Structure 1
Amino acid sequence: MKKSFLVLCVLCFLNLNLRALQSEVKKFLFNGNPTLIGLDAGMFQDTETRFKVDLSGKWLAKIDGEKKWFEVLIPSAYDFTGKVTFRKSFNLPDTLVRNKTLFLVAYGINYECKVFVNGQFLTRHIGGYTSFVVRIPDRILNTGENILEIQVSNELNSKTTIPLRHQVWAWRNYGGIYRDIYILVAPKVWIDDARVVYSFSSNFSILNGEVEAYLSSGEISKLFNDKNFDVKLQIFEKTGEVFITETKPLTFFVDDLRSLKIKIPFTIYNPNLWSPETPSLYILKLLVTNLGRVVDEFIIVTGFRDIKIGNGDIYLNGRRVVLKGISRHEDHPRFGNALSYEEMERDIILIKSMGANAVRLGHYPAHPYILNLCDRYGLFVLEEIPVWNVPVDILTTERYISLAKDYVSEMITRDKNHPSVLAWGIGNEFDSADEEARKYVKELVKFVKSIDNRPVY
């Protein structure tokens, strides 16, 4: 009798839980704040030649399988597993459509999304914690009203997603457009990307560096009679924007639809070095001119420091440093992982006030503003991809290794110029002692080292 009663209780419990799952509340956690602009923006500092069309605020949304559209605020996170379609209209004047280059910039959409502009497919992105940038072709844009539609799914599986399907002891797998999203408006000739590399003299009194960048163009024949463009670099201290130096202009011939790799060498004497105690930052301005007129101004905010590892110790600017830090997740009872700028800064201030000098962004790349805050407040960053608790037989497949390489490449591409980033992480809590698992480790370490010289963990 007791045994039958116990079985009945278990069945009732399972039935109640099944009903609870079936009637899962479709909950949205709203942020909706506008994207930050200016020098401290998460990505792409605003200048005289480039600006953002902010897409935050009111959108329409529809949950897969339902007919009704409803209003949501973006950024926001949805706290259930499933597919949601988001839609927003925005207006563009004729001068932008004809004379500018437009990019869609998304800081974070979890996990997979498909993007359409005016019904035309634009891009597909996989990976919920890395940012992506995609150029919007002129041919699919309208003068006046445009419709942006993003189909989002946060569904994970047990074999081919990074991370693998959500486990009860893992972090919460929110879905949605949970970070900033906007249209970046740039000129028809623009700096597409830039990397800062440098080295010091033995006593750190001289810094010799180089900015490696891509100078790209759209269809420019109707806009420029002379296709020779000058590029120079200006350097300022960020505090007070004190002018330091500038380089002589280098001239490049740019035709329609081109992308040229350019290198601009520079030297700084007696540089202020970045450290957690003195987080000195510099503004590097790349100026593109045509017949004396500024065509594009691209800004990098960065700092300079020297990291060496030897005999089990870390040396910063020639001095041994001991890491004291914590691990941080992006989650909040009100916003989910769609944190406001105020909450992010509050976190970093709290970590710094504890006496920490480092933060591990476990287990995934954070909002880009977090990296800016760590640069400014002085915190080392350990940043990693969410290859977490993956069985060896999955970890070592060519498909999974390829996915991991794509993930880590996007992370490094976005955050490579941050002085706070101490090391890149390629995963966590898998059996790295296993001989097969070492295949993954060796391949990922080799890949990371091919694109950046920081330590790998």
Structure 2
Amino acid sequence: MIRTFCTHEIRKVRELSGSLWEFSPCTGNLAGRKYRTAVPGCWESMPDFSSYRGVGVFSREIETEGAFRLVFKGVSHTARVCLDGREIGSHYNAYTPFAVAVTDVMAGRHLLEVYADNTFGEASALHIPNDYMSYGGISRGVLLEELTDTYIEYIHAVPVMEKDGWKALVSVKVKNWSAAGKACRLYLDLAGIASEAMELTLEAGGEKTVDFQLSAAEAETWEIKNPKLYTVRATLSDENGAFDDQIDRMGFREIRTEGKDILLNGKKLCIRGFCRHEDHPMFGCALPYAAIQQDLETAMDLGANAIRTAHYPNDELFLDLCDEQGILVWEENHARGLTLEHMQNPNFERQAETCIEEMITAHINHPSVIIWGILNECASDTEYGYECYKKQYDLIKHMDFSRPRSSASCKFKTDICFGLPEIVSYNLYPEWY
């Protein structure tokens, strides 16, 4: 299960997860031995691999042809993707999605291999030995999308409250990966409110981002007790009709700060909740839908209205469920307890900023997300740390103006970064352990 709702009606999509794959460790005493295992899954859940740290390959056959895209919601924590023995893509970070595009594949059965690596080392600035597990495996869903030469990369929808009611600022990114130019029309529909057709001409291998502003004065406000969601759909067509689409959801709500208060839809907000790790004694970080919902039911039963995703972006299924049940979310990039020496790793800034970019690109539409966070308990008391914090806060503001920003600190009076975000956050440890 990838999302809680249908994301395409025209584009053909197949889920490759939710099935058994072949797994083989690449290092250690069991190297080369073959196992059957569930994807999504963590190899630590398998009897022989409870403490395995190394490289493992997950493989299966897929039947396809032409142009397609493989979408991985999470591979821990470094991935290398091969098709018929040829590397077609790679990615770093367990907690953000990535896609690998392939063109001109001959019809037939093909071998898909995903090499997952959960080892620590200089190349990994964010995944380090810590007080929570860095699991190994394909820990979230996998999709195969059959694409035409031109397709919709994403829809971003940001609600804005103005004097005359709600508006939606919508951006649609369209890509053309063919060797020829493409002329097409782009349509947008938000809760039955249709835009005028936008004529597009894309160069060979080109892309365009198209911006819309739609009035939604009659839209119901997304509230904790009334989490009203609306569908937004983008469609591409040409002289032969509609050939691609993308469907997402949004909620009309406003989150902002005023003095010492956080305001949700203009009303003072009292946040009560928990920090949540994606971790389970049976499933590791590859929690199934029912286990995610059980976490949320437990939190709500204890009186919570909010969850912080400590310390990394969470599975989008979790955010879908929070959207639907009116649970507020502080979502943050992946960096926990990094010293100045850790932050001076030459890979740190690039990997941390890429995590922010992938997190916001994937999750900006979720009304439940009310705070973007960064760098839990890192070197915020140093000049170098300050520059890193500022760059990451600036990146968030550039990508999304609509949400406040924060980072949890344990530096107290020595922290020099408190003037950067809208929300100052302390971690307190009374009678810790």
Partner of 1:77: 42
Task: Tell me the distance in 2 between the aligned counterparts of 1:249 and 1:134.
Answer: 30
SS in 1 for 2:58: strand
1:298 Cα shift? 1.3
- Say whether 1:213 aligns with 2:175: no
Deviation of 1:214 (Å)? 1.7
Question: Alignment partner for residue 161 of structure 2, among 200, 218, 221?
Answer: 200
Quick check: 2:69–2:102 contact (8 Å CA) kept in 1?
A: yes
Match of 1:146 in 2: 110
Kept in 1, the 8 Å contact 2:255–2:404? The answer is no
Distance 2:183 2:348 in 1: 45
Letter in 2 for 1:235: L
Displacement after TM superposition at 1:107 (Å): 0.9
Distance (Å, rounded) in 2 between the aligned partners of 1:350 and 1:220: 53
- Aligned pairs (5 A) from 1:17-96: 35-36=1-2, 40=5, 45-65=7-27, 66-79=31-44, 80-92=52-64
Identity %: 24
Q: Is the 8 A contact 1:287 1:297 kept in 2?
A: yes
Contact 2:96 2:355 in 1 (8 A): yes
Question: For 2:392, which of 437, 444, 454 is the aligned residue?
Answer: 444
The answer to whether the 8 Å contact 1:396/1:439 transfers is: no
CA contact (8 A) 1:156 1:163 kept: no
Length-normalised TM-score, structure 1: 0.81
**Contact 1:62 1:69 (C-alpha < 8 Å) held by counterparts:** yes
How do 1:89-108 residues align onto structure 2 when only pairs under 5 Å count?
89-92=61-64, 97-98=65-66, 101-108=67-74
Matching residue's letter, 1:67 = G
| Other-structure match for 1:130 | 96
For residues 241 and 208 of structure 2, the distance between their equivalents in structure 1, rounded to whole angstroms, comes to 20
**Cα distance change of structure 1 residues 199 and 133 upon mapping to structure 2, 3 Å threshold:** same
1:387 aligns with 2:346: no
* 1:121-158 per-position Cα deviation (integer Å, ceiling 9, x unaligned): 111111111111121232xx33110101111110113x
Deviation at 1:217, TM superposition (A): 2.3
1:112 maps onto 2:71 in alignment: no
Q: Which has the higher helix share?
A: 1
Aligned-residue offset at 1:50: 3.4
1:187 aligns with 2:148: yes
Deviations 1:169-206 (A, max 9, x none): x112211111111212233322112212342223xx52
With over 3 angstroms needed to count, the CA separation of the structure-2 counterparts of 1:209 and 1:63, relative to structure 1, is: same
Deviations 1:312-353 (A, max 9, x none): 210111111111111111111111111111111221222223
SS of the counterpart of 2:106? coil
Equivalent residues in 2 for 1:313-332, closer than 5 Å: 313-332=261-280
Cα offset, 1:376, TM superposition: 0.6
Calculate the TM-score normalised by the size of structure 2.
0.86
Paired amino acid for 2:117:
S
In the TM superposition, what are the counterparts of 1:339-418 in structure 2 within 5 Å?
A: 339-396=287-344, 398-418=346-366
- Report if the CA contact (8 A) 2:19-2:38 is conserved: yes
- For these two proteins, the number of residue pairs brought into alignment is 395
CA distance, structure 1, for counterparts of residue 102 and residue 154 of structure 2: 17
Let me know the Cα RMSD of the aligned residues. Answer: 2.1
Q: Distance in 2 between matches of 1:64 and 1:190?
A: 36
Q: Which runs of 5+ in 2 are unaligned?
A: 45-51, 407-433
Separation in 2, partners of 1:123, 1:448: 26
Shift of 1:396: 4.2
- Give the deviation of 1:259 after TM superposition: 1.4
**Structure 1 runs not aligned, ≥5 long:** 1-34, 237-242
The change in CA–CA distance for 1:252 and 1:358 in structure 2 (over 3 A counts) is same
- Matches of 1:162 and 1:278, distance apart in 2: 41
Contact 1:110 1:178 in 2 (8 A): yes
Superposition deviation, residue 386 in structure 1:
2.4
CA–CA separation in structure 1 for the residues paired with 2:138 and 2:18: 10
294-303 vs 62-71, greater mean Cα deviation: 62-71
1:276 aligns with 2:230: no
8 Å CA contact 1:214–1:260 kept in 2: the answer is yes
**More divergent stretch after superposition (377-386 vs 207-216):** 207-216
Residues 127 and 162, structure 1, Cα contact 8 Å, conserved in 2? no
Give the greater-gyration-radius structure (CA): 1
